[in-house]
Amino acid sequence: MNLELSEEQTAVRRLAREFTEREIAPYAAEWDRAESVDRALVKKLGEVGFLGLTVPEEYGGSGGDHLSYVLVTEELGRGDSAVRGIVSVSLGLVAKTIAAWGSEEQKREWLPRLCAGHALGCFGLTEPGTGSDAGSLTTRAARTGATYVLNGGKTFITNGTWADVVLLFARTDPDEPGHRGVSAFLVPADTPGLTRREIHGKLGLRGQATAELVLEDVEVPASALLGPEGKGFSVAMSALAKGRMSVAAGCVGLAQAALDAAVAYAGQREQFGKPIARHQLVQELIADISVDVDAARLLTWRVADLIDRGRPFATESATAKLFASEAAVRAASNALQVHGGYGYIDEYPAGKLLRDARVMTLYEGTSQIQKLLIGRARTGVSAF
């Protein structure tokens, strides 16, 4: 793996950093308090090309490699994890999946709008009773001639109330057990029978629109099927394998923000007649954050490098997601400790970083699920 960035990758990273400093970081605390990111930001993300990274230019994308995507995701995560989540889901889980599995008609219909920020996507997999056990989902899609009728519900759906299209997973064959009877659909969010309710009062990622979806006799044409019927679980798992890289990259950015905040505060705050940065136990906290940032970054960059070289990457993606999410929690907690009592009020960023970090160990596969994936891969034991 080459650790030296190309000129193009360096330029993309610089662009993302400047965009984050100008358009995101100054407003992150305000959006957190309001429980809503300014929706005008979506168009700006599209204009600068961040919603089309790695998507072919012929479909309105920005092109580029996956390491460039990771670099941008790091910077967005450093500015505000809620914003990073908007991009990771709409681009990383939805647009990339349409590019990989969609028909030519589906690509032409959705990708230009998603990449330009004129539309957003959400990923409708999680249900109230099926989180880690996604293969047991109960949302139904019954074939009636040239259409499917969908009934069921989804929860904890990022971008749920903002999205224009739902990449929705439903059971098309009730007689097939587990994952084998699941199919994927592209459902326009304004389809009659689809209702959405935003979830408020979250611990972290408060600026992100997280929602419950209810489907009551939602009718879609057969052309809404994404990939072959019965292959929806494969569609979902392929999306999540790359999605875990996105989460890991966002965690690297969050941990970097924790490091930056801890170093800045330690240099300004004085106790016992000198800046606390000169106290060895404070230095130890900062050193622990720094090591976690470097290790998480290298694990995440490895995943992008493998994808760009066409190599298998699923286990490495699970490894990066596991380590980076847990590292982000440690980093944010250590940064709060450096801040002392001031870390507990939202005038300083440490508290928000810790709240945002905590969910990273839960979504797109909990830490326990990542360990199962890694363990099965290393031992050769089948997942099913």
Q: How far apart are CA 82 and CA 31, in angstroms?
A: 9
Tell which residue, 93, 89, 65, 63, has the closest CA to residue 76.
Answer: 89
CB 146 within 8 A of CB 139: no
Q: Tell me: the pLDDT tens digits for 294-346?
A: 999 999 999 999 999 999 999 999 999 999 999 999 999 999 999 999 999 98
pLDDT band at 382 (very low <50, low <70, confident <90, very high): low
Second CATH level (architecture) for the domain 234-379: Up-down Bundle (1.20)
Q: How far apart are CA 205 and CA 199, in angstroms?
A: 11
Q: How far apart are CA 307 and CA 368, in angstroms?
A: 24
Q: How far apart are CA 184 and CA 222, in angstroms?
A: 11
Tell which residue, 324, 333, 326, has the closest CA to residue 353.
Answer: 333
Mean pLDDT for 163-187 is: 91
Neighbours of 122 (CB within 10 A): 30
The domain ranges of the chain are 7-120, 123-230, 234-379
**Residues 6+ positions from 166 with CB-CB distance below 8 Å:** 121, 122, 124, 157, 186, 187, 188, 189, 194, 213
pLDDT value at 384 more than 90 = no
Tell which residue, 155, 149, 135, has the closest CA to residue 231.
Answer: 135
Q: Tell me: the pLDDT tens digits for 104-144?
A: 999 999 999 999 999 999 999 999 988 677 778 999 999 99
pLDDT value at 291 more than 80 = yes
Is 7-120's fold the same as 123-230's?
no
pLDDT band at 9 (very low <50, low <70, confident <90, very high): very high
Tell which residue, 344, 355, 301, has the closest CA to residue 324.
Answer: 301
Q: Is 176 annotated in the active site?
A: no
* pTM, two decimal places: 0.93
Domain 123-230 listed as CATH 1.10.630.10: no
The predicted pLDDT at position 175 comes to 76
Token pair 């941990």 in the structure block, residue: 255
Helices 104-116 and 40-47: angle between axes, nearest 10 degrees: 110
Q: Which fold has domain 7-120?
A: Butyryl-Coa Dehydrogenase, subunit A; domain 1 (1.10.540)
185 φ/ψ angles, rounded to the nearest 5 degrees = -135, 150
Tell which residue, 165, 157, 39, has the closest CA to residue 94.
Answer: 165
Query: Which token pair is 116?
Result: 């330009």
Q: Tell me: the pLDDT tens digits for 217-259?
A: 999 999 999 999 999 999 999 999 999 999 999 999 999 999 9
